[in-house]
Amino acid sequence: MDSLKLLKIKAQGMEPSVRIGKGGITQGIIEEIKKQLAKKKLVKIKCLKSFIQSRDRKVLAAELAKRTNSKVVYQIGFVIVLARK
């Protein structure tokens, strides 16, 4: 099995550890994601409807990955999973 598939399987059993609300992507959110990536290597992020309404979810996932120097494992609905590069 490739590593991406293993990361997806591992992420499915996780609870979201970061939530992005109507305040959006703040520097605090970015720092928290970076801290968790350093510690756990895998972070599950839940975006609230109030934040996601008018945004493209794939673009949002790519932006988070870029700003946290990570890679997108997957993005489904309101959930984004990032892994350390």
Give the predicted TM-score (pTM) of the model. Answer: 0.91
Which residue, chain included where needed, has tokens 């890679």? Answer: 71
Domain extent for 33: 3-84
Q: pLDDT for 12-51, tens place per residue?
A: 999 999 999 888 899 999 999 999 999 999 999 999 988 8
Give the angle subtended at the CA of 41 by the CAs of 73 and 57, to the nearest 5°. Answer: 30
- Residue closest to 81 by CA, chosen among 26, 27, 24, 5: 5
DSSP notation for 6-69 = HHHHHHHTPPP-EEE-TT-S-HHHHHHHHHHHHHHSEEEEEE-HHHHTTS-HHHHHHHHHHHHT
Residue 1 has pLDDT above 70, yes or no: no
Mean pLDDT of the chain: 91
Looking up residue 24, the CATH number of its domain turns out to be 3.30.110.60
Domain count, the chain: 1
Query: Quick one: pLDDT band at residue 2, thresholds 50, 70, 90?
Result: low
